[in-house]
Structure 1
Amino acid sequence: MTEYTQIFKGTAFSSTSPKEVQTLKDYLFFINADGTIEKVVAPEHIDYQTLLDTYQDNENFHQLADGQYFLPGFIDLHVHAPQWAQSGTALDIPLYDWLNKYTFPIESKFSDLDFAKEVYEDLVSTLLANGTTTSLYFATVHKEASLLLAEICAKKGQRGLVGKVVMDDPEQNPDFYRDADTQTALADTEEFILAVKELAKSTKQGVYPVVTPRFIPSCTDGALKGLGELAAKYDTHVQSHCSESDWEHGYVQDRFKKNDAFALHDFGLLGDKSVMAHSNFLNDADAELFAETGTAVGHCPISNAYFANSVIPIAHLHSKGVDIGLGSDVSGGFSPSLFDNARQAVMSSRMLEDGVNTALAAEKRGVPNSRITINEAFYLATAGGGESLSLPIGRLEENYTWDAQIIDTKIASAKLPIFDKNEDLNDIFQKIMYLVRPENISEVWVQGNKVHERTK
């Protein structure tokens, strides 16, 4: 008899495509020692009852209670880990001022490892409690504190992809917060990559080093070129900001006479392990380059409402074949919850389609065919994120990792309005996506291990 470390029984929701969510009613999920879903069995399968009889009395058999459901763990493609310390503040000023007056000063404090430990431990725990099982993190310029973040992810059981940020241009960065020089930035990045790869050898769910030029304005050409070479040498993930706002997009055009996408590509920073945050101002040529290279967009809808001067055309980019996932952009986005960001993704897309300027006629006010559904937003938070990172995560199906959140719709403090015991499961899924709060998330599992349980 095959040995499974965990067996789960319950109703789950998982994306089969950007627009379609599959309802897996009363399925059995068998998890192997690696934390991978080895077998998924539907109630109508010939072996279902035999398997149920065989395993249901085992200690490692978990059956959901009435009103509980499985969702895949969420995948956050853009988190500024140090900015957790300033979340919810200074969101009403321009991006350039926000960075220089608030963000760079707080990030500079992470040279203090005690402060870094306090903030990072709280952040990782908070994200897990919000159902985020994988996070793609910008840390700071500090090599030691960035490694500490990877170690905290490893310890707490979150799958962390962590980047030591590079900001080496003395003309574009403050004296108190930048890399000492280009060579130091590249040497620290290489040492960081090697240290995280060593840590990964003993981390079941995986930790990954990420080559991280903050964005083109903060880096010299030498740093961008060197980072592209390091990404190729060590086959790492890559992240940066791309065509985020009028100011940043315009800066790159002035400096390189081309858009961010092509400038980043020139330095070897696009590829199937690359995620570019925001990307609001991509044109069709940029989008085609992303699709051709396998580069993904980290869509940050709450943050974009504050700092991007625009609404990104997600539906159009999907039609161009671009991989897209969802990001919170803590703290440009105030909420650490991808539930909140999924909701905002839908709302922003509707505003783009309908338009916002009532002085214009209805037919001239918006951008046709721009809306996305809650199914598509769920896909961005799960399967789309997995595809963006080229990892087997984000779906509850065979050969994917058991990264799951158990949603309790009946908890007294956050009961969902479900009054018909035979309510359509698709309607229940929509209520979950629109109404769940952190207290509804009763358990979170990563790579077959329980990493969070709601305290009563």
Structure 2
Amino acid sequence: MNNYTQIFVGTAFTSDSSEKISILKDYLFCINHSGMISKIVAPQDEEYQLLIETHKGQDHFHVLDDGHYLLPGFVDLHVHAPQWAQSGTAQDLPLYDWLNTYTFPLEAKYSDLDFAQSVYGNLVDTLLANGTTTALYFATVHKEASLLLAEICAQKGQRGLVGKVVMDDPEQNPPYYRDQDAETALRETEEFILAVKELNKTVKQGVYPVVTPRFIPSCSDEALKGLGDLALKYDTHIQSHCSESDWAHHYVKERFNKHDAFALNDFGLLSDKSVMAHSNFLSDEDAALFAETGTAIAHCPLSNAYFANSVLPLHRFRKMGIDIGLGTDISAGATPSLYDNAKQAVISSRMLEDGVNANLPADERGVANSRITINEAFYLATAGGGESLSIPVGRIKEGYAWDVQIIDTKVPAAKLPIFDPNEDLYDIFQKIMYNVRPENIREVWVQGEKVHTR
């Protein structure tokens, strides 16, 4: 009983499955020295009272206040870290023009490490304050600034998976912002991988290098093949964009006479440690390849509304066995909140099912059986993200990391609409998912360490 470094008493909400929420009312949560959930004890269990009597009054024993609840920390599967500096702007152009007019000039500035420090430090703080305990990051082409982002995650206690972006094709990238050539890109990627792996030896919650071709249109064949080889050599995670928009999807088809998914697979970039952002335009054959290789999808519903030209058919892909989680896609998605994206995932799915053209008959307007519930959106933001990364996070369950948000439903600045002292707990869960603001997130813990408090 003395092996627990933290014990919490309170009510938690966690995904039992993609559609079912488990409500753990007044449970004990026992955390070991590694920051993992060692034991969960129900009030009716024999040792419940004994544990309380043994540990109460000690610094490591935490009893949640009335109106406070535990949720798993969120897993954000798609963040363009450098774009935080333009978040909330530049939403007015198609993807190709947006990249060249706004985004590439901004990302080029990260050769300045002081600028990188100020943006990345604030971004990690902001994501933690919004309940995001694990983030999968695109950095920039700059090796030093990309390593700095990993170091900031390590220092601030967030679990960061960071990729030095590769974009070496001189025909598709501006001269002021690209890798010098494929050889340079691959050498610097390998150096980055080794440096982050070394850093990870000192980090409790973990920081991980990610092989990161920006997307096929930005990379030469040589770079893509070399990145696949590096991912295999060092057993790293892989991330990119896949079949995001009409333009990107059709570009790859014209270049290789095949879809993104099959082109990426040919270069060794699809595996059970791969996460592909968007993927809205996957055919059934593409989706079957994702399922076969274990490749996951980062669903970015807010970003998709601006840039993807379509709605992801979540239900169809999940039924085919594809792991899916949520991403903010900062800054194409203008908010750092996965609460906002969970709500948008529900909204987008309803719009896909109901259709949007009122001039069509109702039975011709949408795609049947497309809607998801807030339970499913919560699953995508938590357990689905953990499964997509093959990391034991996203659930409040024995054997998982103690990554949690403590939600205060009574905070004066953002009180949730709960007026019945005996309110149904599932109704409270729904109100949390639809109404929480950063002011409600009192504490955030990652791997058993408190990393944010308000």
TM-score (ref. length: structure 2): 1.00
1:55-112 CA-partner distances (Å, limit 9, x unpaired) = 1222110111000000000000000000000001110111111000000000000000
Shift of 1:2: 3.0
Q: Which residue of 2 aligns with 1:38?
A: 38
DSSP-derived class of the 1:75 partner: strand
Q: Residues of 2 paired with 1:438 and 1:96: CA distance?
A: 33
Q: Pairwise mapping of residues 262-411 of structure 1 onto structure 2 (< 5 A)?
A: 262-411=262-411
Q: Residues of 2 paired with 1:300 and 1:290: CA distance?
A: 17
Q: Which residue of 1 aligns with 2:58?
A: 58
Q: Residues of 2 paired with 1:61 and 1:119: CA distance?
A: 36
Q: Residues of 1 paired with 2:353 and 2:411: CA distance?
A: 36
Q: Which residue of 2 aligns with 1:75?
A: 75
Q: Residues of 2 paired with 1:416 and 1:397: CA distance?
A: 26
Query: Structure 1 stretches of 5 or more lacking a match?
Result: none
Shift of 1:263: 0.5
Q: Which residue of 2 aligns with 1:143?
A: 143
1:102-160 CA-partner distances (Å, limit 9, x unpaired) = 00000000000000000000000000000000000000000000000000000000000
Q: Which residue of 1 aligns with 2:241?
A: 241
Q: Which residue of 2 aligns with 1:428?
A: 428
Q: Which residue of 1 aligns with 2:445?
A: 445
Q: Which residue of 1 aligns with 2:2?
A: 2
Q: Residues of 1 paired with 2:421 and 2:294: CA distance?
A: 44
1:233-291 CA-partner distances (Å, limit 9, x unpaired) = 00000000000000000000001111111100000000111000000001111111111
Asked whether 1:28 is paired with 2:28, we answer yes
Q: Pairwise mapping of residues 78-89 of structure 1 onto structure 2 (< 5 A)?
A: 78-89=78-89
Q: Residues of 2 paired with 1:223 and 1:416: CA distance?
A: 50
DSSP-derived class of the 1:432 partner: helix
Q: Residues of 2 paired with 1:41 and 1:227: CA distance?
A: 45
Q: Which residue of 1 aligns with 2:232?
A: 232
Q: Pairwise mapping of residues 92-107 of structure 1 onto structure 2 (< 5 A)?
A: 92-107=92-107
Q: Which residue of 1 aligns with 2:18?
A: 18
Q: Residues of 2 paired with 1:176 and 1:275: CA distance?
A: 28
Q: Residues of 2 paired with 1:238 and 1:376: CA distance?
A: 25
Q: Residues of 2 paired with 1:343 and 1:315: CA distance?
A: 16
Q: Return 34-43 or 53-62, whichever deviates more.
A: 53-62
1:378-405 CA-partner distances (Å, limit 9, x unpaired) = 0000000000000000000100000000
Q: Residues of 1 paired with 2:17 and 2:181: CA distance?
A: 45
Shift of 1:51: 1.2
TM-score (ref. length: structure 1): 0.99
Q: Which residue of 1 aligns with 2:191?
A: 191
Q: Residues of 2 paired with 1:319 and 1:90: CA distance?
A: 35
1:350-377 CA-partner distances (Å, limit 9, x unpaired) = 0000000011000000000000000000
Q: Residues of 1 paired with 2:137 and 2:183: CA distance?
A: 23
Shift of 1:315: 1.0
DSSP-derived class of the 1:419 partner: coil
Q: Return 44-53 or 289-298, whichever deviates more.
A: 44-53
Q: Which residue of 2 aligns with 1:131?
A: 131
Letter in 2 for 1:204: K
How many residues are aligned here?
454
1:417-445 CA-partner distances (Å, limit 9, x unpaired) = 00111111000000000000000000000
Shift of 1:21: 0.8
Letter in 1 for 2:95: L
Q: Residues of 2 paired with 1:240 and 1:188: CA distance?
A: 18
Q: Return 281-290 or 128-137, whichever deviates more.
A: 281-290
Q: Residues of 2 paired with 1:333 and 1:117: CA distance?
A: 22
Q: Which residue of 2 aligns with 1:216?
A: 216
Q: Residues of 1 paired with 2:322 and 2:118: CA distance?
A: 37
Q: Residues of 1 paired with 2:45 and 2:176: CA distance?
A: 63
Shift of 1:49: 1.2
Runs of 4+ in 1 over 4 A off after TM superposition: none
Q: Residues of 2 paired with 1:226 and 1:356: CA distance?
A: 43
Letter in 2 for 1:301: P
Q: Residues of 1 paired with 2:265 and 2:428: CA distance?
A: 43
Q: Residues of 2 paired with 1:21 and 1:273: CA distance?
A: 26
Give aligned-pair identity as a percent.
74
Letter in 2 for 1:90: A
DSSP-derived class of the 1:106 partner: helix
Asked whether 1:155 is paired with 2:147, we answer no
Q: Which residue of 1 aligns with 2:48?
A: 48
Q: Residues of 2 paired with 1:157 and 1:169: CA distance?
A: 36
Q: Residues of 2 paired with 1:201 and 1:345: CA distance?
A: 36
DSSP-derived class of the 2:258 partner: coil
